[in-house]
Structure 1
Amino acid sequence: MATPNYGYEKRQKELAKKKKKEEKLKEKAQRKAGESGPDAKDDEPDQEAEGSAH
């Protein structure tokens, strides 16, 4: 029976984490760039509703 290659598995996990982190940062940058777009308007009423509920 072959022995497991833990180094390979670790490297694959690291690459997956790095890719996910980069995608997350890219999405965050897009949201920030489009802050003045329709998404920002949708967020504002939610925040006001939460504030008035107290």
Structure 2
Amino acid sequence: MAKPNYQFEKRQRELEKKRKKEEKAQRKAQGGQDRSPEDENADPQAPASPDAADEQAPSA
């Protein structure tokens, strides 16, 4: 049975982390330029559905 190549696996993980970090930095650099008008009108604090509001309300 072949031995696992741990160095190769580690390098692949490192490359994946680096790629994700670069993508995140690129999105951050773009800022809010790519936001659509409907995103600006949406209330981020509002629940997604009326049922969700009922579940979050404390019961008395």
Q: TM-score range, shorter-chain basis? A: 0.5 to 0.7
TM-score (normalised: structure 1): 0.63
Gaps in structure 1 of 5+ consecutive residues: none
Residues paired across the two proteins, number: 47
Unaligned runs of 5+ in 2: 54-60
- By percentage of residues, which structure has more helix? 1
Q: Deviations over 1:3-47 (max 9, x none)?
A: 6233xx101100000000000000000000001311xx23x7285
Structure 1 residue aligned with 2:2, among 4, 7, 11? Answer: 4
Superposition misfits of 4+ residues, deviation over 6 angstroms? none
Q: Which has the larger radius of gyration?
A: 2
Residue 22 of structure 1 is matched in structure 2 by 18
Question: Could you tell me the TM-score, scaled by structure 2's length?
Answer: 0.58
